[in-house]
Structure 1
Amino acid sequence: MQTPDVNLWNWLLAVAPIATVLVLMVGFRWGGTRAGPAGWLVAMLLAWLRFGAGLELLWVSQLRGVLLTLFVIYIIWSAMALYRVVDEAGALAAVGAGISRLTADRTLQLLLIAWIFCSFVQGVAGFGVGLAISTPLLIGLGFSPVLALSAVAIGHSWAVNFGSMGSSFLTLIAQSGLTGYALAPWSALLLGVTCLGCGLLVVWIDRGWASVRQAWPALLIIGTVMGAVQAGLAVIGLWNLAGFGAGLAGLGVAALVVRLPRYRSVPRAGAVEEQVAGVQAPVLQAANPGSGGRLVPLWLAVAPYLVLILVVGAAELWPWLNDVLNRVALAADFPEVQTSYGWTTRAGPGRSVSVFGHAGALLLYVAVLFYAVYRLLGFYGPGVTGRIVRKTVRGSLPASYSMLALVGMAMAMDHSGMTYVLARGLSQVAGPFYALVSPFIGLLGAFMTGSNTNSNVVFVPLQQQAAGLLGLDVLAVLGAQTTGGSLGSMIAPAKIIVGAATVGLVDQEGKVL
């Protein structure tokens, strides 16, 4: 397969769509609904005018993008519905009050949810579910929406590779042809180090070094345990349980750490209204106005999230249930397409969307169940159904537009060879220092597709080939690839859009980035 020559000019053209999105979102603070279409237009024009893409190739790439977009927005709409169901009952305020009683320390509250709990959810759930669950909980504690989403995006990223029942790591095995036992040590080592780094950044973005000084004992204890448990499970072959087990161990250790005098005697500073990046956080209230002034008991407030974890776990771990739920799916086979340079995308199926077994479907089941529960128990006021529907639609539509454009951009770049030119250029420039560049190639893949799994699909063959040609340790380079893809999840616009839509940060994704 051939692409245009990998030179500086072609490399700059290949990076132009990504640069367009980043500059508009970060530099000009555009939202995804404007920056996404701009990046898509640049990608389509360059694919056609410079990289040899014909109309059939562009058409196939966009149809694949539509299927992938459906896969993602199923989660967006369902997560938004669950968030509105819970919020209208006043459950988020109850959760915030409960965590306040567990520990009065603001920094530890942030760590508990953004770093530990979200990593635990990532262990069993897939794309964006952890962000959709954890961000509203932090907002209920009084953290601003921008800070809450940023902290959660950073905090969970170390757990992505072995999360989702090990899907990204299993893809690494499949694409490389190497055994999981050979690949696991490097991946586990690098991700163990980044576990501590992610926790450190979570507390630092709150109040800088003051937060770090307060949190370092908890960071060191919990981070070491989570990293060690993940590594232990990974090296003995329990790849699908490594992320889940690490998160579970973190929750257990955190339950002990919060009892330390250091974290019980600090007056709480987070239950007041604050402002970060121009977005205000809601004041922690006793109850939602729509709940008629009644406060939902803590056990009932957290029940939707606990039930969701059980439902997702059952759907993943029980083969018979997984089979039943995934019998009906939206899928399509696509023909082989080729650029005028000879870059070929093979024929095959696109991303299938399970109608009843998708993560979005599981979220929707829980949303419907607890809508009925809260309504039956009298926690809803009049007109609640209309409010939930209106707020769900209003919050989900802009995110859906953004997602369609960004995924379309990524697919056009992939099918025209632009993505390959980007990665190949980095590898050629790096030479003997390629091992230092390899995680950024993994990060690039995750940024474009919103998925470490997809990053491994696209770039593992390239990384493996480059390591062999340069005489580098292939296992170390592949470990860096999947670690970079895992960490890239924190800046992937597709994931940030999921979290932003859930908490009403429409067109404010640039602030989070």
Structure 2
Amino acid sequence: MEVWNQIYDPMGNIWLSALVAAIPIIFFIVALTVFKMKGYVAGILSIIVAAIVALLFYKMPFVKVVGTGFYGVLAGLWPVASIVLAAIFLYKLTVKTGKFDIIKNSIATITEDQRLQVLLVAFSFGAFLEGAAGFGAPVAITAVILIGLGFKPVYAAGLCLVANIAGGSYGAMGIPVTTPATLTGLSGLDVASRTSYVIPIISLMIAFLLVYLIDGFKGMKQTWPAILVSGGSFAITQYIVLNTLGAELVDIISALVSLVALALFLRVWKPKEIYRLDHKETAKQTKHAVKKETYSLGQVAFAWLPFILLTIMVILFSLKPVKALFAAGGPLNNLVFSFPIKGVHNQILRQPPVVPEETPYAAVFNLDLFSSTTTAIVIAALLTILIYRIKGSIIKEAAVETFKELYIPIITICSVLAFAYICNYSGMSSTLGLAFASTGSIFPLFAPILGWIGVFLTGSVVNSGSLFAPLQAVTANQIGILPEAMVAANVMGGAMAKMISPQSVAVAAAAVGLAGKENELFKFTIKISVILLVVVGIINWALY
């Protein structure tokens, strides 16, 4: 098979080439927001647009365009769609066994105020799951919990997408920081430390923003002590951990501190009004009374068992010694099934300055059936079935419902990944990166945008780092800035795009039953994402 060299300036002017490279992205955004297309329709059409740009302007061979698109579909199925399927199936088991009613009651026992429930569930518990699992699982799980607590689907999914920003820079045991640091030969602790100048500030802002999105300035005024306890404890812990231990455990530790701090605080403080989204139950605290079942600590713990098991299994599968078993050269590596994509794997060459030297672009689909986050969730589900002694008819019913609700969202997920992979392997993404890298001394202002674009295209801060971290480091050295700072900027900017990434939006929509209405979620989050990106860019520019 013929080797193909990527080109990054097909128009002979890097900014004109960047405009061409942005066509598929612009089309996708317009399709969702202006034409209000369903997610899978916008995704499929974006594949066609990206393929046309790759063929006509970047001269990418047709076979390679098809191959990279197919690779994206596979990546959409595993692990992204499989994580959502497993997580929603586990959730449905808790609902059908009646345990989710106890879970809801346990949260309501801490507070019946939905503004504060969002801080407990979406902000703190979501960050905990992000640190343990990442890759869509936190948004999917916390969104369905919020729906169970009475939130409308669009609100539940949108709030969880926004809340995910707090922990999004460090998901899945810190690999969004450690992976680009390794790729660029930098210290993971140094890169983590550089993110601590900005992300804790953003985390505190997110805590206030979540309450504002529910109940405006009035809600912030009524609950500011609780917001400060939740967001402040989270942000302070983030800063300390990032500068001492690094990124690996920062989400888990910060989330636990925040969760416990808010739960304890709410034992001695309550807002003057208990707020409910439907406004029908809003009343003065002294007059508010809701009938609640009383459950023992054992009953509550037993109801939470599926999510406790999920957390334990995901953390276990994320530990370095366990990962080493399945890594190249590990004793269980033969249980990871690798499928090189024919005509693509090492048949596309990335060129300087995107990489230090001409480098083959790997394209291997790894089916890690025994070591993935999906596997961890499935094991948690199997243990739940055994411990709860769930009947086969209930298991079948939950499985059928899960597939029926998610098959359209899975098409959406696969289509947006195919579109993203074509953009990445054709060189379009790198064209956008080089355009911003050409800005010289004001590059620190634009460096987070590279991470933002990378996450929009790939849905992952890790993948964005793999795509742009080498370019960030090379540019930083050229203009006399510490490379750790710009790699950190890539991580931070990328986190701001998690709420608008087509992959993330599709996952959130799938979790709450909004298949085909991804445009509603996108409109909910796009302004917030852009504003936060501008804030990160300005702070980064001021620092460097």
TM-score by length of 2: 0.83
Distance in 2 separating the partners of 1:440 and 1:506: 29
Distance in 1 separating the partners of 2:406 and 2:451: 29
Contact 1:322-1:357 at 8 Å conserved across structures: no
Deviation at 1:241, TM superposition (A): 1.4
Contact 2:88-2:141 at 8 Å conserved across structures: no
Contact 1:122-1:130 at 8 Å conserved across structures: yes
Deviation at 1:386, TM superposition (A): 4.0
Classify 1:341/1:352 alpha carbon distance in 2 versus 1 (closer, same or farther; 3 Å): closer
Deviation at 1:73, TM superposition (A): 1.6
The aligned residue for residue 417 of structure 1 is 427
Match for residue 360 of structure 2 among 324, 341, 346:
346
Structure 1 residue ranges without an equivalent (≥5): 275-283, 288-295
Match for residue 503 of structure 1 among 504, 512, 521:
512
Amino acid in the other structure paired with 1:456? G
The aligned residue for residue 490 of structure 1 is 499
Q: Does 484-493 or 66-75 show the bigger shift?
A: 66-75
Quick one: higher RCO (CA 8 Å, sep 6+), 1 or 2? Answer: 1
Amino acid in the other structure paired with 2:38? G
The aligned residue for residue 413 of structure 2 is 403
The aligned residue for residue 253 of structure 1 is 261
Match for residue 52 of structure 1 among 31, 51, 59:
59
The aligned residue for residue 21 of structure 2 is 14
Deviation at 1:444, TM superposition (A): 0.9
Distance in 2 separating the partners of 1:272 and 1:84: 28
Match for residue 305 of structure 1 among 295, 304, 307:
307
Classify 1:285/1:443 alpha carbon distance in 2 versus 1 (closer, same or farther; 3 Å): farther
The aligned residue for residue 113 of structure 2 is 105
The aligned residue for residue 138 of structure 1 is 146
Deviation at 1:312, TM superposition (A): 1.2
Aligned length in residues: 490
Classify 1:268/1:223 alpha carbon distance in 2 versus 1 (closer, same or farther; 3 Å): closer
Distance in 1 separating the partners of 2:483 and 2:67: 34
Q: After superposition, what is the alpha-carbon deviation per residue over 1:45-88, rounded to whole angstroms, capped at 9, x for unaligned?
A: 11011111002321331343234222212212212211222222
The aligned residue for residue 219 of structure 1 is 227
Amino acid in the other structure paired with 1:319? P
Match for residue 98 of structure 2 among 90, 96, 111:
90
Contact 1:184-1:234 at 8 Å conserved across structures: yes
Q: After superposition, what is the alpha-carbon deviation per residue over 1:191-250, rounded to whole angstroms, capped at 9, x for unaligned?
A: 111111222221121122122222322222332322222222222244311221111111
Distance in 2 separating the partners of 1:360 and 1:91: 22
The aligned residue for residue 24 of structure 1 is 31
The aligned residue for residue 168 of structure 1 is 176
Contact 2:350-2:359 at 8 Å conserved across structures: no
Is it true that 1:393 corresponds to 2:403 in the alignment?
yes
Distance in 2 separating the partners of 1:321 and 1:431: 40
Is it true that 1:269 corresponds to 2:276 in the alignment?
yes
Q: Which SS does the other structure have where 1:262 is aligned?
A: coil
Contact 1:123-1:241 at 8 Å conserved across structures: yes
The aligned residue for residue 361 of structure 1 is 375
1:59-98 aligned within 5 A: 59-69=66-76, 70-98=78-106
Q: Does 113-122 or 88-97 show the bigger shift?
A: 88-97
Distance in 2 separating the partners of 1:386 and 1:237: 44
1:396-475 aligned within 5 A: 396-428=406-438, 430-475=439-484
The aligned residue for residue 7 of structure 2 is 2
User: Could you list the runs of 4 or more consecutive aligned residues of structure 1 that deviate by over 6 angstroms after TM superposition?
Assistant: 271-274, 284-287, 339-345
Classify 1:93/1:145 alpha carbon distance in 2 versus 1 (closer, same or farther; 3 Å): farther
Classify 1:172/1:321 alpha carbon distance in 2 versus 1 (closer, same or farther; 3 Å): closer
Distance in 2 separating the partners of 1:286 and 1:300: 18
Amino acid in the other structure paired with 1:359? T
Distance in 2 separating the partners of 1:28 and 1:37: 15
Deviation at 1:372, TM superposition (A): 4.0
Contact 1:190-1:479 at 8 Å conserved across structures: no
Amino acid in the other structure paired with 1:306? I
Deviation at 1:495, TM superposition (A): 1.7
1:141-290 aligned within 5 A: 141-263=149-271, 266-270=273-277
Distance in 1 separating the partners of 2:105 and 2:469: 45
Deviation at 1:320, TM superposition (A): 4.9
Q: Which SS does the other structure have where 2:134 is aligned?
A: coil
Q: Does 183-192 or 164-173 show the bigger shift?
A: 183-192
Q: Which SS does the other structure have where 1:261 is aligned?
A: coil
